[in-house]
Chain A
């Protein structure tokens, strides 16, 4: 499938999720490493991904990137600027980059991400990289979509109090201390190692990088690949994919129910849900609501 066809299908998955089932059914089921990059705005996620793409390409691997930026809660418009950092790959036929707006999803991604990743795996890319919106502390959905999650941090992140907080800090398989060319990087790196050690977690998966000058990228990519291979050799990958399926199902269920909820007019929220479910069951019984 060429880039144009893939791009058109992504648009369909995003705009007409009801058709996702038919589109994906026609494609073979295929798995490849799906790697998530998350972290606060401005820590260098896009620039880091740019370097990771270069590294994977030099090993002859093809790469698809989905980069999500936020939609406006007021206009629903969006400014999608992640690919600006990935310019040197625009003409490479082995690289496909797609910007995506979050469209109201709160987890740092976009509701159609599950379908889009399935599509990108099916059409044969060797790696799928996902960049979340710049997140704060609680946007953890990437954990359910990606097999390996890299949390990107940079100096100025805060002190150890931030490392102790629940949420985003907990979901990472790999911690990337980016901007190692800047001052303050060593102290963040040391704090992180110290924190992971006393938390009883694997302090090995902390990597110091500079997306600017490329240092540490080779090590980062090696760690990612090793980790994924480990997952694939054990039961871990199966578990992760099962979890992804469950969250995909939940997203579909929510969307389906929402459709019926919007048709319900009730003063009582509990009754509203009951009415929506009843309405949905009736429709399904007559075979009109089969999709989502």
Chain B
């Protein structure tokens, strides 16, 4: 039976992971297996973890303002490692003006402050079901 695995990661230097934990908890309660990296991860560490854990989706929680640089780096490394097919969600303090740029970089969904947890869970479901129908595993 297929069980979806999601990596919740905290790239960069900000030390606030309440949001990441709340989202991880909601995804757990929605039936997903959630792997948490802990604070202050480099993009390299996140991508290596995604490979070893064979995750179906990566969620980046960024509150530092460095979301453009960090997301770009993660996605570049994912391409290099051949795992760019894994969807990347970004959540945190993201100015609305930056959303189109994040999507352009290759981020699949962006969630700013105040996003209801139910919306996150629902979009994770939508995206994952789309992913499995094309890749098969």
Contact = CB atoms under 8 A, between A and B. Distances in A.
Given A4-B81, A79-B36, A98 B31 contact: no
A15 B1 contact: yes
Interface of B is mostly: mixed
A211 to B, nearest CB: 16
Contact of B28 (A4, A72, A103): A72
Contacts of B41: 87, 90
A103 B4 CA distance: 12
B29 A72 contact: yes
A50 B35 CA distance: 17
Interface stretch (B43-51, B68-76, B104-112): B43-51
Q: By CB atoms of chain B within 10 A, which of A75, A99, A101, A103 has the most?
A: A99
B51 A7 contact: yes
Contacts of B81: 4
A75 B33 contact: no
Contacts of A77: 27-34
A99 B53 contact: yes
B98 interface: no
Contacts of A76: 3, 31
A12 B45 CA distance: 24
B36 A7 contact: no
B82 interface: yes
A85 B36 CA distance: 11
Contacts of A99: 35, 53
Nearest to B3: A15
A78 interface: yes
B33 A101 contact: yes
Interface of B: 1-3, 5, 24-25, 27-38, 41, 44-45, 48-49, 51-54, 81-83, 137
B35 A80 contact: yes
B30 A3 contact: no
Interface of A: 3-4, 7-8, 10-12, 14-15, 71-72, 74-81, 83-85, 87, 90-91, 96-99, 101, 103
Nearest to B29: A75
A79 B34 CA distance: 5
A101 B5 CA distance: 10
Contact of B137 (A11, A71, A101): A11
Contact of A90 (B27, B35, B36, B49): B49
Given A75-B30, A77-B32, A91-B48, 15 more contacts: A3-B51, A4-B81, A4-B83, A11-B5, A72-B28, A72-B31, A77-B28, A81-B36, A83-B35, A83-B38, A83-B49, A84-B36, A90-B41, A96-B52, A103-B3
In the A-B complex, the 9 residue pairs with the closest CB atoms:
A84-B38, A7-B54, A77-B28, A90-B45, A77-B31, A11-B54, A75-B31, A80-B35, A78-B33
26 contacts: A4-B51, A7-B51, A10-B54, A11-B54, A11-B137, A12-B137, A71-B33, A75-B31, A76-B3, A76-B31, A77-B32, A77-B33, A78-B33, A81-B36, A81-B38, A83-B35, A83-B38, A83-B49, A84-B36, A84-B38, A87-B37, A87-B41, A87-B45, A91-B48, A99-B35, A99-B53
A79 B44 CA distance: 22
Q: By CB atoms of chain A within 10 A, which of B28, B35, B41, B45 has the most?
A: B35
Contacts of B29: 72, 74-75, 77
Contact of A75 (B24, B28, B35, B36): B28
A75 B31 CA distance: 5
A57 B44 CA distance: 20
B56 to A, nearest CB: 9
A108 B25 CA distance: 21
Contacts of B45: 87, 90-91
A280 B35 CA distance: 38
